[in-house]
């Protein structure tokens, strides 16, 4: 059976061109980039070339890009080190952030590093209340603001430039988790005014275990991981050279093909949404579905209450369909999605996140609709 993969928000297949680039490095460049001999220097050159590529795509300088093990490390570094650097005691976030943000801020509050953690209001679709954000900034001393660009479960987009402008007015430090949107939208760091944004390469057909943190040149932070002088004394440890080269190649390809992929994948998402409405009664969608306000790669669906709702994903799996029940980072947990809970989704209705990539087809969507319809009809609660 040929499986259908609709869990691209969790991770994406490695692009063959990216793989070829990485294999070339694995086979031919094995020196330690910290070594001063020729083999070390040529590997160092590969890393700096990748840094320059990433910086150019973001309208950043190479000195503002730091390679990490992925999005979680990048988020942790931005939050922990950003708050420490400025002695900030008040942080603002939302109740639908990724756990890499939510749990980090919660721990800093528990440890007494910050005195107060405020949650900006969100509506039933996950949209940020910008007026409330401004009110929170007015009422508190200099704050650290962490709000994601696109929610990984709801697909709802936050206006980064608007948040950046508000933060600038109140001299707040602004961190944005851009893991789900890096490579899917243009990020011009000179326009969005964020102090920190992040990337995980495996979300854009790059390798797992590598990402980067953008640190705006206007802020200076200390490292979170100590060791050698790697990453200009900002992250100890020998660099993941193959991963860094793969990341840069994946991001470069994503930018070069971005407009075509946006159009193609949005068409797939709209096609699936319309087919679900036509074939399955009482269906609803979570988060934003307006193409102007939502991430085009994600569609979150609530199905009618049914017997053995918790078996829906299993039934999809045995029919060769890979999807997710909310955030993949909660898979295997008995705890329901904190995101869906925060926006008031009925817990009695099973929800599935379908997420798309450039590799999916309408024929695959047709098969998924057929199987989903059959599963729902067989298990619908009377």
Catalytic residue among 81, 176, 199, 329: 329
Note the helical H segments in the chain. 16-28, 38-58, 71-86, 99-110, 130-139, 160-169, 189-192, 230-233, 241-256, 258-279, 312-318, 338-342, 362-379
Q: How many CA atoms lie within 13 A of 338 on its CB side?
A: 14
Q: What is the C-alpha to C-alpha distance for residues 33 and 20, in angstroms, rounded to an integer? A: 21
Find tokens 């600038």 and name the residue.
Answer: 168
Three-class secondary structure of residue 155 per DSSP: coil
Is 199 known to be catalytic?
no
Closest alpha carbon to 187 in 198, 173, 203 = 198
- Which residues are CB-neighbours of 278 under 8 A, at least 6 positions away? none
Q: Which residues pair with 355 in a beta bridge?
A: 7, 298
Give dist(CA 236, CA 223) in Å, integer: 8
**Residues labelled catalytic:** 329
């Amino acid at each position: 059976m040929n499986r259908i993969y609709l869990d691209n928000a969790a991770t994406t297949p490695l692009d063959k061109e990216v793989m070829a680039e990485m294999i070339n490095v694995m086979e031919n460049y094995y020196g330690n980039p910290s070594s001063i001999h020729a083999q070390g220097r040529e590997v160092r050159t590969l890393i700096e070339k990748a840094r320059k590529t990433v910086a150019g795509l973001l309208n950043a300088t190479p000195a503002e890009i730091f390679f990490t093990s992925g999005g979680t490390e990048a988020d942790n570094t931005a939050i922990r080190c950003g708050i420490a650097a400025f002695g900030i005691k008040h942080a603002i976030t939302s109740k639908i952030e990724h756990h890499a943000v939510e749990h980090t801020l919660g721990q800093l509050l528990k440890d007494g590093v910050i005195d107060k953690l405020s949650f900006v209001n969100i509506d039933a679709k996950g949209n940020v209340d910008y007026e409330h954000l401004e009110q929170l900034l007015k009422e508190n001393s200099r704050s650290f603001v962490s709000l994601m660009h696109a929610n990984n479960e709801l697909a709802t987009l936050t206006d980064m430039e608007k948040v950046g402008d508000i933060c600038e007015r109140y001299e707040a430090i602004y961190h944005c988790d851009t893991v789900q949107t890096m490579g899917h939208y243009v990020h011009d760091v000179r326009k969005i005014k964020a102090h920190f944004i992040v990337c995980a390469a495996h979300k854009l057909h790059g390798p797992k275990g590598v990402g980067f943190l953008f640190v705006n040149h206007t802020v200076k932070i200390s490292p979170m991981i100590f060791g050698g002088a790697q990453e200009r004394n900002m992250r100890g440890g020998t660099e993941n050279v193959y991963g860094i080269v793969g990341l840069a190649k994946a991001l470069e390809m994503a930018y070069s093909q971005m407009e075509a992929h946006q159009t193609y994948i949005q068409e797939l998402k709209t096609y699936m949404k319309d087919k679900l409405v036509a074939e399955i009664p009482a269906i609803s969608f979570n988060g934003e579905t307006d193409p102007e306000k939502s991430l085009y790669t994600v569609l979150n669906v609530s199905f009618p209450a049914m017997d053995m709702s918790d078996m829906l994903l299993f039934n999809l799996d045995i029919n060769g369909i890979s999807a997710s029940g909310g955030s993949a980072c909660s898979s295997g947990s008995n705890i329901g999605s904190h995101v869906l809970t925060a926006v008031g989704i009925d817990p009695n209705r099973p929800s599935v996140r379908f997420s798309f990539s450039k590799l999916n087809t309408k024929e695959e969507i047709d098969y998924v609709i057929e199987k989903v319809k059959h599963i729902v009809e067989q298990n619908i609660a009377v």
